[in-house]
């Protein structure tokens, strides 16, 4: 359950941002980008987020997770391909190892949506 | 009026752990210590590998162990027999070591010993093929073990670990005659993900392949100390294993930054 630790890191990072805002605005949504070639399970992350934000400044905030597919680039073939996670990672055309990952390793807090009354 | 705004952050989810790992590595570099992060599933043979390593290299290298596998105190006690300091970290129920836990171990090393005397710190991670792969602890190289009883498909099922590793030990080779397992298949599966890592079949029981492992460890130390030395100066065995392997990923500029003191003090409490 490293998603618990990752959620803790997420909350701390958002907290730092929130503390730096003079208005301390209510956070509505947190947008995450999670690659499919990471050890992170979005469902576990959602669950951990819901539990850990209870009675905090993030209570009720929505966690929006965008998953990015695993895409590799084969240099001998000069083309991109999508490996079958769990089955095969080498290039389907020439069998070269997966070396150059172009997408799928992301673990990023992309942006925050917040509300202001005026 | 209620209006919604957007703040772009673009921050890596693991940046806190990464900053801590860089800080730990800066400590190791200052003391000229090479740090290896040893990972595998439970029961693949991390502790026995460390036992053999401590036993074989104790006359050549000054070694300390940071022991994260705290399911039993027995592991730490087994390793203490070889005279090396073993710093046990209380991981609680955590499924991996993070850089903050290891920082606590480093501070114990600094407090109880003279860290500049050491050549090598071996970090034994929590037995798990998934989580430790994502959490750097400040190591110079990652070592992953896969025992042949686990099956040929494990590199495909737990790809991050096998992709990240700089050295892959295929362990329990003495059991090969009793198992229906294709070692070449394991190697081929690893190679799909990791064309450059050293792959070393070993048996801690019979000693098979261990010399190659000791040479690999020795080569890491030489490389960490003299990062500009050409690979050809290290010896034939090491050269074979180290082709194109990233040795020091450390950005020298990162060491110049002021360490996060408050963060590190917190780790000691």
Alpha carbons B166 and B90: distance in angstroms, whole number: 26
- Domains of chain A: total: 1
| Residues B89-116 pLDDT 10s | 878 778 899 999 999 999 999 999 999 9
Mutate which of A16, A39, A41 to test chain B, going by most B C-beta atoms within 10 A?
Answer: A39
In this complex, the residue of A10, A17, A118 whose CB is nearest that of residue B7 is A17
ipTM at complex level: 0.87
pLDDT at B76 over 90: no
> Cβ of A115 and B131 within 8 Å?
no
Answer for the pair A6, A109: CB distance below 8 angstroms, yes or no.
no
> Cβ of B3 and A118 within 8 Å?
yes
Q: How many CB pairs under 8 A join A and B?
A: 105
Interface residue A88 vs chain B (CB under 8 A): yes
Name the one residue in this structure whose structure tokens are 């005659």.
B177
Nearest to A65, CA basis, from A103, A35, A20: A35
* pLDDT confidence bin for B239, thresholds 50/70/90: very low
Q: Supply the DSSP symbol for A75.
A: T
Report DSSP letters for B29-70, one per residue.
HHTT-EEEEEE-STTSSHHHHHHHHHHHHTTT--EEEEE--T
Token digits of residue A102 = 């172009």
Checking B148-151 for CB contacts under 8 A at 24+ apart, the result is B148/B172, B148/B173, B148/B175, B148/B176, B148/B179, B148/B181, B148/B183, B148/B186, B149/B175, B149/B179, B149/B181, B150/B41, B150/B44, B151/B181
pLDDT at B250 over 60: no
Answer for the pair B68, B97: CB distance below 8 angstroms, yes or no.
yes
Interface residue A110 vs chain B (CB under 8 A): yes
Alpha carbons B78 and B50: distance in angstroms, whole number: 10
| Residues B188-219 pLDDT 10s | 999 999 999 999 999 999 999 999 999 999 99
| Residues B127-186 pLDDT 10s | 999 889 989 999 999 999 999 999 999 999 999 999 999 999 999 999 999 999 999 999
> Cβ of B4 and A10 within 8 Å?
no
Q: How far is A78 from chain B (nearest CA, A)?
A: 17
Helix then strand then coil, in percent of chain B rounded to 5, is 45, 15, 35
- From chain B, the residues in CB contact with A19 under 8 A are none
H/E stretch holding B110 reads helix B99-112
> Cβ of B8 and A9 within 8 Å?
no
All structural domains of chain B with their residue ranges: 15-245
> Cβ of B9 and A17 within 8 Å?
yes
Q: Is A54 inside a domain boundary?
A: yes
**Cα–Cα–Cα angle for B146, B152, B157, rounded to 5 degrees:** 80
Query: What CATH number does the domain containing A51 carry?
Result: 3.30.2320.50
Q: How far is A5 from chain B (nearest CA, A)?
A: 9
Beta-bridge partners for B64: B121
> Cβ of B160 and A116 within 8 Å?
no
In this complex, the residue of B4, B6, B192 whose CB is nearest that of residue A88 is B192
Q: Supply the DSSP symbol for B116.
A: G
Please tell me which residue, B130 or B55, carries the higher pLDDT value.
B55
Interface residue A66 vs chain B (CB under 8 A): no
> Cβ of B96 and A2 within 8 Å?
yes
Mutate which of A62, A89, A110 to test chain B, going by most B C-beta atoms within 10 A?
Answer: A89
B33 φ, ψ (degrees, to nearest 5): -105, 140
H/E stretch holding B198 reads strand B198-201
In this complex, the residue of B14, B96, B195 whose CB is nearest that of residue A9 is B14
Helix (H, G, I), strand (E, B) or coil at A102: strand
Q: Which residue of B has its CA nearest to A17?
A: B9
Q: How far is A118 from chain B (nearest CA, A)?
A: 5
Beta-bridge partners for A111: A31, B8
Helix (H, G, I), strand (E, B) or coil at B202: coil
Q: Is A80 inside a domain boundary?
A: no
In this complex, the residue of A89, A113, A118 whose CB is nearest that of residue B192 is A89
Alpha carbons B245 and B247: distance in angstroms, whole number: 6
Answer for the pair B155, A90: CB distance below 8 angstroms, yes or no.
no
- The predicted model scores a pTM of 0.84
| Residues A48-82 pLDDT 10s | 999 999 999 999 999 999 999 999 999 999 999 99
Specify the fold of B15-245: Rossmann fold (3.40.50)
Find the domain containing A25 and state its range: 2-69+104-114
Answer for the pair B138, B20: CB distance below 8 angstroms, yes or no.
yes
């Amino acid at each position: 359950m490293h998603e618990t630790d990752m959620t803790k890191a997420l909350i701390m990072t958002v907290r730092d941002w929130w503390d730096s805002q003079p208005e301390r605005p209510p956070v509505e949504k947190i947008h995450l980008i999670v690659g499919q070639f990471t050890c992170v399970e979005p469902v576990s992350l959602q669950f951990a987020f819901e539990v850990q934000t209870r009675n905090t400044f993030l209570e009720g905030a929505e966690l929006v997770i965008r998953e990015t597919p695993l895409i590799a680039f084969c240099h001998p073939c000069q083309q991109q391909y999508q490996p079958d996670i769990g089955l095969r990672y080498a290039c389907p055309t020439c069998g070269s190892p997966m070396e150059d990952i172009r997408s799928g390793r992301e673990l990023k807090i992309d942006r925050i949506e917040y509300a202001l009354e005026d | 009026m209620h209006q919604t705004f957007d703040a772009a952050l673009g921050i890596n989810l693991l940046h806190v752990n990464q900053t801590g790992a860089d800080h730990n590595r800066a400590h190791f570099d200052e003391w000229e210590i090479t740090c290896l992060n040893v990972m595998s599933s439970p029961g693949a043979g991390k502790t026995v590998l460390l036992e053999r390593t401590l036993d074989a290299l104790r006359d050549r290298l000054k070694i300390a162990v940071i022991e994260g596998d705290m399911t039993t105190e027995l592991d730490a006690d087994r390793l203490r027999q070889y005279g090396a300091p073993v710093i046990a970290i209380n991981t609680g129920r955590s499924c991996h070591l993070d850089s903050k836990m290891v920082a606590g171990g480093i501070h114990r090393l600094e407090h109880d010993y003279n860290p500049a005397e050491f050549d090598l710190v071996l970090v034994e991670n929590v037995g798990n093929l998934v989580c430790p792969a994502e959490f750097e602890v400040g190591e110079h190289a990652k070592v992953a073990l896969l025992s042949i009883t686990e099956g040929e498909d494990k590199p495909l099922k737990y790809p991050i670990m096998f992709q990240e590793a700089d050295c892959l030990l295929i362990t329990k080779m003495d059991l090969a005659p009793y198992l229906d397992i294709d070692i070449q298949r394991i190697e081929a599966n690893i190679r799909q993900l990791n064309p450059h890592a050293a792959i070393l079949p070993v048996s801690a029981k019979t000693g098979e392949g261990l010399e190659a492992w000791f040479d690999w460890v020795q080569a890491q130390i030489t490389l960490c100390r003299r990062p500009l030395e050409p690979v050809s100066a290290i010896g034939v065995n090491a050269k074979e294993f180290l082709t194109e392997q990233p040795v020091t990923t450390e950005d020298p500029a990162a060491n110049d930054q002021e360490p996060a003191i408050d963060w590190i003090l917190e780790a000691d409490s």
